Structure 1
Amino acid sequence: ERYKKSDSVVNTPAYARNYQPRRQRTAAIIRNRHGSIIYDTEVDKDMWVRHHNQLRREQAGPTINKRYLSLYSLFDTFNLIPVLLPRIRLKIRMKPSRLQTDLSSKTYR
Structure 2
Amino acid sequence: MLDENLEEFLREFGQPTSQRFPTASEVEQYRGILPDRLLEYWQEIGFSGYMDGLFWIVNPADYDDVVERFLESTDFPELDTYHVIARNAWGKLHLWGKKQGIH
- How would you bin the TM-score normalised by the shorter chain? under 0.3
User: Rg: which structure is higher?
Assistant: 1
Higher relative contact order (CA 8 A, sep 6+): 2
Give TM-score scaled by structure 1 length.
0.19
**Normalized against structure 2, the TM-score is what?**
0.20
Task: Name the structure with the higher helix share.
Answer: 2
